[in-house]
Amino acid sequence: MIKITLPDGSVREFEKGTTPMEIAKNISEGFARNVISAKFNTAIIESSTPLHKDGSLVLYTWKDKEGKTAFWHSTSHIVAQALEELYPGVKLTIGPAIDNGFYYDVDLPEGTISEKDFPSIEKKALEIARGKHDFKMKSVTKEDALNFYKEEGNEYKIELIENLEDGTITFCDHDTFTDLCRGGHIPNTGIVKAIKILSVAGAYWRGDENKPQLTRIYGISFPKQKELTEYLALLEEAKKRDHRKLGKELELFTFSQKVGQGLPLWLPKGAALRERLEGFLKKAQKKAGYEMVVTPHIGQKELYVTSGHYAKYGEDSFQPIKTPKMDEEFLLKPMNCPHHCEVYNFKPHSYKDLPKRFAEFGTVYRYEQSGELHGLTRVRGFTQDDAHIFCTPDQVDQEFMNVIDLSLYVLGSLGFDNFTAQVSIRDPKNPDKYIGTVENWEKAENAIINAAKEKGLDYVIEEGEAAFYGPKLDFMVKDALGRNWQLGTIQVDYTLPERFDLTYKGSDNELHRPIMIHRAPFGSMERFIALLLEHTGGNFPLWLIPEQAIVLPVSEKHEKYAEKVLKSLENSEIRALIDNRNETVGKKIREAEMNKIPFMLIVGENDEKANTISVRRHGGDDLGAITIEEFKDLVTKEINSTLKSF
């Protein structure tokens, strides 16, 4: 018999050779129908893999990330079979699952694959799927594996196998198809009910541009047709909301090849929006006891060697800047933390001074390969809403709660109401991996978990996910399209205080190490604004949006009155503009709609007589004629409903 530990901690005994699927059936037949993959101890296995020893077992369904991975990877085998049948002589290379779907890199014997070929590939793949063929893993010797692909003339698989050790090589069979694979499949092809080929791109073998160029086919699959339909609708919506497209249309930011890739240029409207976001956070931070500091964009190389950032960002990032005469080396700052440690060090501290909370909108620079750059979400220079809290071990609890309060305030004011928290703690089986005393780790982990509980967060604890230098809490925010973004990390750090020899004098008159907490509710201003653009589709909360209202005179005759309305709004700090071009009101409204201006204030004959404005809401709602004062009240009320004071 073998002892199997299940995720709820229960231990059950089974005959040696029992499979995860049999165990699932033993738990419940209904549950077993949904099980598609499994993990035994640390290895992802098939639900049909016989178990021969004691261990812990997790069973996955489509709802789990691991289940999706198995599902999509298995579909890549099905698509590969379809490609072999449709394009005889095609050479297969690798076909992994990715975040949303899978790809397969292939070497086509001739010609290309383009969008018009997708339906025939989908059709063939679905035909194969419907055959309900089992995925069956088998071990092969290195010699047999090599012979199999030599016969096929597939130099790519041969290269892969040559790098594997004999005794570890496995093939996966289904239907008439065989592929070199280390495993992790769903039980059979029949579970795949909908397949969509999404795009095709060029990719170099092993990502090396000196190696042959292959054709990469991206796809996705689902257990229900309905889920594919929903996914495609979401993709359509995401295209419309793409922050690169909206940023251009709304004139928020741009990029210039002359300035350089990955270096955003903020246009006046975007810069003003950023300033409003910064002002909003600065105000709340001030109330929360933060002090602003300003530090330079570069620092001596030694600074980052001390902090350990050189080891992480040195070789693979921007190279040091050298001074012309003296042999000095500076680095573009990849992180603000080392600078803030030196700010802390400017004078000795006593426990009575703590906590110290230093905040800075600090711009940092990190090299990203040009292929990795993406709008504002992957850039080479970005600004963090950074702050570092230096406190005693006993203060971590309260400081964590304060930072959570601030993060919740930020998320709430910007319309994010769907989020969870992820608490990353040590792997208790590997205590040597971490620096800092066990006592402080326990204190900090408990502080984080208590704070999450106290603040009523919906949280999960991830064992072993903590960085070696301290535990952390991340907010996982779901946007309007159901996508998850990691925002607002709060990280405890024992390393930097050590490396920078930070101290404070305790009540015992001895020197102690403070604990450092890194936190950034927005993360990076660039990435945050990108997320906000895609979440709101450009319809930012009224307090933040570049233009809150536009005055639209019906004809030239009413221009004067329109100007008067504009002045009055400006005097009340409502961001408004006027469209007095010689165009029809219909056209002016259409353009204002495109520019996502929340209020259109139409003024004509009757308005001028009655001293009113006819208000139209973005999206079509007519609010009728009201006085300017009534309109101002309306704006204030709406702003106050989202932007509470901290």
The residue ranges that bind Zn ion (CB under 5 A) are 172, 181, 337, 518
- Are 551 and 576 a contacting pair, CB within 8 Å? yes
Per the DSSP assignment, residues forming a β-bridge with 516 are 390, 493
Q: Which of 179, 385, 386, 474 is catalytic?
A: 386
State the minimum distance, in angstroms, from the CB of residue 304 to Zn ion. Answer: 13
- Helix, strand, coil in percent for the chain, rounding step 5: 40, 25, 35
- Are 435 and 468 a contacting pair, CB within 8 Å? yes
Cβ proximity to Zn ion, 75 vs 413, nearer residue: 75
Cβ proximity to Zn ion, 172 vs 220, nearer residue: 172
Q: Is 512 a catalytic residue?
A: no
Cβ proximity to Zn ion, 15 vs 291, nearer residue: 291
State the minimum distance, in angstroms, from the CB of residue 519 to Zn ion. Answer: 8
State the minimum distance, in angstroms, from the CB of residue 437 to Zn ion. Answer: 21
State the minimum distance, in angstroms, from the CB of residue 493 to Zn ion. Answer: 7
Cβ proximity to Zn ion, 148 vs 543, nearer residue: 148
Query: What are the distances in angstroms from CA 114 to CA 111, 198, 278, 554?
Result: 10, 11, 46, 50
Q: Which of 91, 243, 333, 388 is catalytic?
A: 388
- Are 57 and 5 a contacting pair, CB within 8 Å? yes
State the minimum distance, in angstroms, from the CB of residue 406 to Zn ion. Answer: 16
Query: What are the distances in angstroms from CA 536 to CA 250, 267, 281, 479, 542?
Result: 13, 20, 20, 9, 11
State the minimum distance, in angstroms, from the CB of residue 124 to Zn ion. Answer: 19
- Are 445 and 426 a contacting pair, CB within 8 Å? yes
Specify burial of residue 312 (Cβ count, 10 A radius: 0-12, 13-18, 19+): middle
Residue in the structure block whose two tokens are 């909360």: 541
Q: Is 472 a catalytic residue?
A: yes
Q: Is 386 a catalytic residue?
A: yes
Angle formed at CA 578 by CA 576 and CA 581, multiple of 5 degrees: 160
Return the number of other C-beta atoms located less than 10 Å from residue 113's C-beta. 20
- β-strands 549-553, 599-603: how paired? parallel
Q: Is 535 a catalytic residue?
A: no
Q: Which residues of 118-149 are buried (b: 16+ CB within 10 A; e: fewer)?
A: beebbebbbebbeeebebebeebeeeebbebb
Q: Which of 384, 395, 491, 548 is catalytic?
A: 384
Residues 39/45/49/53 CA torsion (nearest 10 deg): -50
Q: Which of 68, 77, 472, 575 is catalytic?
A: 472
Q: Which of 172, 181, 337, 341 is catalytic?
A: 337
Return the number of other C-beta atoms located less than 10 Å from residue 151's C-beta. 8
Return the number of other C-beta atoms located less than 10 Å from residue 329's C-beta. 12
State the minimum distance, in angstroms, from the CB of residue 137 to Zn ion. Answer: 8
Catalytic residues: 337, 366, 384, 386, 388, 472, 518
